[in-house]
Structure 1
């Protein structure tokens, strides 16, 4: 194991996650007017409907699939399936979701790069972050044949152990990760880099998407009528509860 491997797999993830969390908090506190997705739908809807729906459906499935797959201890799902079965399930489901996401993202990139009106109003980081996500998706799909070649689930267990050790602040075995095929190592490093760039791009609107779930759980708001001629005693009885 080299010192570079130790830094990449043992230190760099913490740098990225720290910038991801603190950077998002600082941007929300200081630049709330930039906290948006900068939709270009009003300029031209065209490919946006198909591209956005396919991309978001695929990326959400991949995000939660990675989240559950990497952070769920083997002892919890070991009663239902072995590591090999879980890996085959991840290959099939991840392959389909990745292809759907890649198709949608390609539409969005084509639209933003080759539509003059949208390209003129786009910030340089808009197209850059889309291209970065595209490369990450392509490399993720490249890992599927490698995963099929290790059908025993050993690689998946290595990656899950690394992610869980990072989350629980335990020592990482960088030597094992450094011995994995290049698509896995690239996918890890590039994925962490996306977290690093997250607060400086339009991706911050993802936080708002997750926060909107809280709207369904918030308490009712009491609204009282102020119509003329309504006695104060009747105002309370005429109250209604609205969202």
Structure 2
């Protein structure tokens, strides 16, 4: 058991992160044509609109909530919130965002599996990654009752946050994870696996979404017109440069 925990919670996270970054870079360099989300909006719009908005809004909130909530040192958020207050906020906000994300993903998965035309144009990896995300969300929602029960003494949250901060500082301690409930452990391992599968799925378009924020800081594009020297009598066209 000790060997298994050491692999899953000490070695495996760095394997997943290495594949995540290097695989994404290699795919962008070698297969830029596949760097897209493969939208099927033309085939069926209504259910896609609801599912996509709920899913993307919820998943972005959950991602940044996990990132900031788990990696922020206790001494920093302790200036504003106690550990119990932080866990209560995480349960309420995460529960709302997770439920919205789960409903949206269920709509997207149902749409992709129930419509023959969309099913025919879907890659097997598209369906597989949706199923994995659906299971991951279900596991995350299953941890909420336990987290709410432990609001008064958020020991599990503190153990997991300390463990994840240890990964970020290259000093993970698998013993911190060994004592928590099984659904927290499976949720974490499956989350790492999603990072591992990221470069080989349509999820790579997430990089483009974050990169597009750079357009906010780009200067305006200047467009000028230049007259061409043509013989008299000809209309003088304008060419944009």
Name the TM tier (shorter chain).
over 0.9
Offset at residue 155 of structure 1 (A):
1.1
2: distance between equivalents of 1:126 and 1:46?
20
Q: Secondary structure at the match of 2:51?
A: helix
Stretches of structure 1 that go unaligned for 5 or more consecutive residues are: 230-239
Match of 1:237 in 2: none
1:163 equivalent in structure 2: 164
Q: How far apart are the structure 1 equivalents of 2:206 and 2:227?
A: 41
Name the structure 2 match of 1:148: 148
Q: Which residue is 1:220 aligned to?
A: 220
Instruction: Quote how far apart the aligned CAs of 1:227 are.
Output: 2.7
CA shift digits 1:56-77 (9 cap, x unpaired): 1110110010011011111111
Where do residues 3-152 of structure 1 align in structure 2 (5 Å cutoff)?
Answer: 3-151=3-151, 152=153
Give deviations 1:195-238, integer Å, cap 9, x for gaps.
Answer: 00000000000000000000110123332211346xxxxxxxxx
Superposed structure 1 runs of 4+ greater than 4 Å apart: none
**Normalised TM-score (structure 2):** 0.92
Structure-2 separation of matches of 1:212 and 1:57: 17
Give yes or no for contact 2:160–2:176 (8 Å, CA) kept in 1.
no
Q: Distance in 1 between matches of 2:150 and 2:158?
A: 11
Q: Deviations over 1:24-77 (max 9, x none)?
A: 000000000000000000111120000000101110110010011011111111
Give the match's secondary structure for 2:222. strand
Counterpart CA distance in 2 for 1:62 and 1:168 is 22
C-alpha distance in 1, partners of 2:177/2:19?
23
* Alignment-derived partner of residue 202 in structure 2: 202
Count, aligned residues? 230
1:129, CA displacement in angstroms? 0.3
Contact 1:86-1:153 within 8 A present in 2 as well: no
TM-score (norm 1): 0.92
What is the distance in 2 between the residues matched to 1:166 and 1:79? Answer: 24
Moved more, 130-139 or 155-164: 155-164
List alignment gaps of at least 5 residues for structure 2.
230-239
The alpha carbon displacement at 1:149 in A equals: 2.1
Cα distance in 1, alignment partners of residues 150 and 12 from structure 2: 27
Determine the structure 1 residue equivalent to 2:232. none
Distance 1:103 1:47 in 2: 11
